[in-house]
Amino acid sequence: MKRSAEVLEYPASLDETIARMKSKLEGVMPEFEIKLKAEYAHKINVLKREMNAVILGHNYMEPALYHSVPDYVGDSLQLSALSAETDADIIVFCGVMFMGETAKILSPRKTVLVPSEEAGCSLAAGISAADVRTLRNRFPGAVVVSYVNTYADVKAESDYCCTSGNADKVIRHLMDEGHKRIIFLPDEYLARNTAAEMGLPFFPANAGEDTLPPDKPAVIGWHVRCEVHELFTVEDVRNIRRQWPDAVILAHPECSPEVIAEVDVAGSTKAMSDYVQNVDAPRYALFTECSMGDNLAAQFPHREMIRSCSLRCQYMNQITLEDTLDALEKCQYRVELSDELIERARPPIDRMLSLR
């Protein structure tokens, strides 16, 4: 399978690590901090080779980590696919816990580590397996699609998994198979935005079955939101337009439908990164977790990124180089799921990956 995440090669010596990090991060971080962080990065890179570990880094990792230790970086879809393919004995997932769980489900015999126990997610915390069962009872015969930002027990109750990078493709596939009732969990905004993009009606989970169109497909959503992306407002978009009329504004589809309607591009973290790489514009503003803007500014120095650094994901922020070194040295924190749960949670992920 084609590997679409960027493959990062790292040099062995501390001096080379410092030089590499300086070349990427000089405009983003002070030099003394780069040197300090490089010491951790160097130790991690030595240890990961000795332990035959692979490090996967989500696009929201802080710049010092993102540009120093991951073997692969990418969005949740790319990193899920990579976890199914790797030959390493240990997967260190520099991302949040639901991502580590997805890696464990796809590679159950491997040791999967997430460097902090605090790396949660407001979406994953906002729905339970019992909620999914209740919804199935309320809408008999409906197909259940769960965003990858859910825990394993919720995936185990679902028919399909999806990410923000393929939600439309999964729904299109289900419509082609003749499904009319598509329960899309748990992010209300991603559900509304995907339904709007596809011209489908959206209904909240408490809608009565009799209010749904009898013969046409409909998306039924849940009520939780990403605590980071829900904070962006239409006023923020208009402010950027006033200050920089030539800026291209890109937003993650976890933002509200009102925000998505006013921006220029909506897409997953990979889609936003690809856009900045491939489409020439005077400047770019990202409505997403703010580390990603720093990472892109370091990766594409010829591009002008408007830095808006007030919104950080408190969960992604837990993963630091210091914790990643600790994770390797102490082999912590292991993602543990029962065989029975893995067996039930895997088919929805496999169905999603088979549509790539």
CA 191/CA 171 separation, integer angstroms: 10
- Out of ligand SF4, ligand 13P, none, what residue 227 binds, judged by CB under 5 to 8 A for its kind, is ligand SF4
Which of ligand 13P, ligand SF4, none binds 315 (CB below 5-8 Å, type-dependent)? ligand SF4
Instruction: Please report whether residue 122 would count as binding ligand SF4 according to CB under 6 A.
Output: yes
CB nearer to ligand SF4: pick between 247 and 313? 313
Packing angle of the helix pair 76-85, 269-278 (nearest 10 deg):
110
Nearer to ligand SF4, 76 or 107 (CB): 76
User: Judging by DSSP bridges, how do beta strands 181-185 and 143-147 pair with one another?
Assistant: parallel
Say which entry of ligand 13P, ligand SF4, none residue 37 contacts (CB below 5 to 8 A, set by partner kind). none
Strand duo 160-162 + 111-113: pairing: unpaired
Q: Identify the helix (H) or strand (E) that includes residue 145.
A: strand 143-147
Which residues in the 195-214 window bind ligand 13P by CB under 6 A? Answer: none
Among the listed residues 228, 272, 286, 328, the single contact to ligand SF4 using CB under 6 A: 228
Task: Name which of 38 and 352 has its Cβ closer to ligand SF4.
Answer: 352
Q: Write down the least CB distance from residue 290 to ligand SF4, Å.
A: 10
Length of the chain: 356
Q: Which residue of 17, 45, 68, 76 would you call a contact of ligand 13P, by CB under 6 A?
A: 76
Nearer CB in complex with ligand 13P: 59/158: 59
What pairing do the DSSP bridges indicate for beta strands 6-7 and 72-74? antiparallel
Quickly tell me which residue has 């900045």 as its tokens.
276
Q: How far is the CB of 59 from ligand 13P (least distance, A)?
A: 6
Question: CB 204: neighbour CB atoms within 10 A?
Answer: 12
The yes or no reply on residue 75 touching ligand SF4 (CB under 6 A) is no
Q: Does 193 engage in binding with ligand 13P (CB under 6 A)? A: no
d(CA 303, CA 243): 18
Residue from 289, 294, 323, 326 binding ligand SF4 (CB under 6 A): 289
Residue 291 binds ligand 13P, judged by CB under 6 A: no
Q: Which residue lies nearer to ligand SF4 by CB, 71 or 187?
A: 187
Q: Please check whether residue 248 is in contact with residue 283, taking contact to mean a CB–CB distance below 8 angstroms.
A: yes
CB of 356 to ligand SF4, least distance (A): 21
Q: Which does 122 bind (CB under 5 to 8 A by kind): ligand SF4, ligand 13P, none?
A: ligand SF4
Q: Which is nearer to ligand SF4, 41 or 112 (CB)?
A: 112
75 binds ligand 13P (CB under 6 A): yes
Q: Which of 129, 316, 337, 341 binds ligand SF4 (CB under 6 A)?
A: 316
With contact defined as beta carbons under 8 Å apart, do 266 and 193 qualify? yes
Q: Do 38 and 17 form a contact (C-beta atoms < 8 A)?
A: yes
Near ligand SF4 by CB under 6 A, which window of 16-24, 198-206, 226-234, 325-333? 226-234
The β-bridge relationship of strands 218-221 and 90-94 is unpaired
Which residues is 306 bridged to in the sheet?
285
* 299 class by beta-carbon count within 10 Å (0-12 exposed, 13-18 middle, 19+ buried): middle
244 vs 317, beta carbon nearer ligand SF4? 317
Region near ligand SF4 per CB under 6 A, out of 106-114, 213-221, 276-284, 311-319 = 311-319
* CA-to-CA dists, residue 307 to 33, 241, 260, angstroms: 20, 14, 19
Residue 90 has which token pair? 């240990």
Distances (CA, A) of 151 to 37, 65, 81, 128, 148: 32, 25, 17, 8, 8
Find the binding residues for ligand 13P in span 142-161 (CB under 6 A).
Answer: 149
- 293: tokens are 């803007």
Site size for ligand SF4 (CB under 6 A)? 13
Q: Any idea what DSSP says for residue 229?
A: G
